[in-house]
Structure 1
Amino acid sequence: MSTPTPRRNVLAIPAYVPGKPPAPREGLTTYKLSSNENPYPPLPGVVEAATAEVERLNRYPDMGAARLYDALAERLDVPTTHLAAATGSVALIYQLVQGFCEPGDEVVHAWRSFEAYPIAITASAAVSVPVPVDAEGRHDLDAMRDAITDRTRVVLVCTPNNPTGPALRQTELDAFLDQVPEHVLVVVDEAYVEFVRMDDPVDGVATYRDRPNVVVTRTFSKAYGLAGLRVGYAIAHEPIASALRAVSLPFGVSGVAQAAAVASLDAEPALLERVDALVAERDRVLAGVRAAGWDVPDAQGNFFWMAAGDRTPELAVAADDLGIVVRPFGREGARVSIGETEANDRVIELARSFPQL
């Protein structure tokens, strides 16, 4: 007896592995450092705005996200028609590949990079072209340029790169973009842009203004602390933004999420204060981990990379023994989020008790 069968590309989709939550431990507070979550509660005014919207749950949300688009347009100085919202920036990656790739078209991206990239590519029956990051965990832009062929339709650039940590410089990105064919869509994924502290940082908005084939994706999940509400946005010229809106799930961004995002934008002073505090904690943790003998790549997000190689599973167990959960990636290494002060202290303890070989 025959049964319905999914398309072959659907059967080939790699599984997304979410960050594991910590198990309760008697007498020990446990911490989740496996999902790059913001340890702070929602910004001032956000819970009130979200609660007010909850009272209208019997109504559909604004499919046009007018208040959110107006707030973003004012903040970023872009037309509202150059914006597209979705359920987190990850949804925009799916929509971009779906909207711009025919089956068999190629998508070039660094690897290891964001875990959802090959999933989104395979789901759209496109072909993933992973380009290894260099020894410092950075995008190898020369190799990515060389990987572009006549079949390439999209290039994904993650800066800062998740999970390895380094970010690109604007001069590097500009030199790369100068060599990308104009018909190829380049996605600059800036999910962690608020945490970047370096010379010559990438300015995604300025880059999109000058280049019609560039789209920038950002999220409210990380710095703004709205991971549980799932709202992200893209900035792109009208043809690209229009295509994104066309393939988006109707009413995908809830009214509660829209209200919380607008309120978060209004709380910018508190946001900047919290981001600065997290960056200071990141620097403190990196100093402690490096002092313990670990060679850690530059970290420009709210996380860093521990290259443990074949010992990665053992590192994850050692972290769990200390009451912290990190995100292991096979036998390559583990990504560690910056969390509460006590959790961060335990990360430094982990680095001291589990030396890098």
Structure 2
Amino acid sequence: MTATGRPAPADRPRTPRPPAPARPPQGGLLLVDKPAGRTSHDVVGRVRWLLGTRRVGHAGTLDPMATGLLLVAVDRATRLLGHLALTDKQYLATVRLGRATDTDDADGTVLPPDDPAAVAAALRVVTDAQLTAGTAALTGALLQVPSSVSAIKVAGRRAYDRVRAGETVELAARPVTVHRFQIVAPPRRLTLPAAGVSATGGTEPVEVIDLDVVVDCTTGTYVRALARDLGRALGVGGHLTALRRTRVGPFTLDGAASVFDPAVPGPDDPDVADGSLGRALVASMLTPEQVARTTFPVRVLTAHEAAGLRHGRPVTPTGRAGTVAALLPTTPDGSSPTRGSGTAQAGEQLIALLADSDGAARSVLGWAAG
């Protein structure tokens, strides 16, 4: 017992781990809809706890304020993460013009403008055409300066750790491609309290414009940096107030699972206690074969080719650039598996991931045992 009367950590009852569901030996890929306020690592920890395995990893970190699609690999399927072609992503976001923050998003501290009256005047006269032109100017191949409060490492330390320690961090611009930065709803003109904005600390209202946008971009693009740069270009400041990832490579939110029940946010949820949530996650897993078919071009193997690849021998070249999935049909009709079984189905088996080299297709990831 502590001095405050609360149980000491050693005295607190431990939440019993739910019964671990049976998992396919090859593992699988979960499409998870991350809620706001949770880190990507929180999601990984939750999946580990629900499924009773430490072998869980994710691709593509989401900030705590962001929601949406997070790819989570379980057990042996974690080996696939480094090979997945996930360079293109899509987001729905809300940009607030008229206020800047030190993190370029809603989690940061509002930065007072040098001239609040000039910002207010600029917002009152900006037109929809100017807003559209501003977003169009931030599309294509760009050199983008990432937000200083980011996970990028500077001399071995995360940029956000250096900023929190009081350091001034200036990150170098890096090449990104924004395929689409488009306003998808009429701009909303709002009036907000001025706390933290007015240079005089007054209480006069502050005008802002909220823009709902869709962004299609490459990996490494900071959507909050787009909000910041749009605000700067218009001379009014800007930051991101909402962000939802809707697509990663070929994967979408369609059928994505929730691992946190917002109505019962804890282990007392009966679906957690009896293991049914864990079983539902396993049932929703994409098998390695499904992941391969969704992500890569496919090379259908003969039994002889599959046997050779299992023993490290190359096969004839695929004639394709990049990675190709090598699949072996295991039924006469070679039918493809359907999503949702949680197990490798009769129909085909992933043998390896291939890449052409020196006149042959060679394994870059051996999957099936010899």
TM-score in same-fold range (> 0.5): no
- What is the TM-score normalised by the length of structure 2? 0.18
- What is the TM-score normalised by the length of structure 1? 0.19
Q: Which structure has the larger Rg?
A: 2
Q: Counting strand residues as a fraction of each chain, which structure ranks higher?
A: 2
Identify which of structures 1 and 2 has the higher relative contact order when contacts are C-alpha pairs closer than 8 Å and 6+ apart. Answer: 1
Q: Counting helix residues as a fraction of each chain, which structure ranks higher?
A: 1
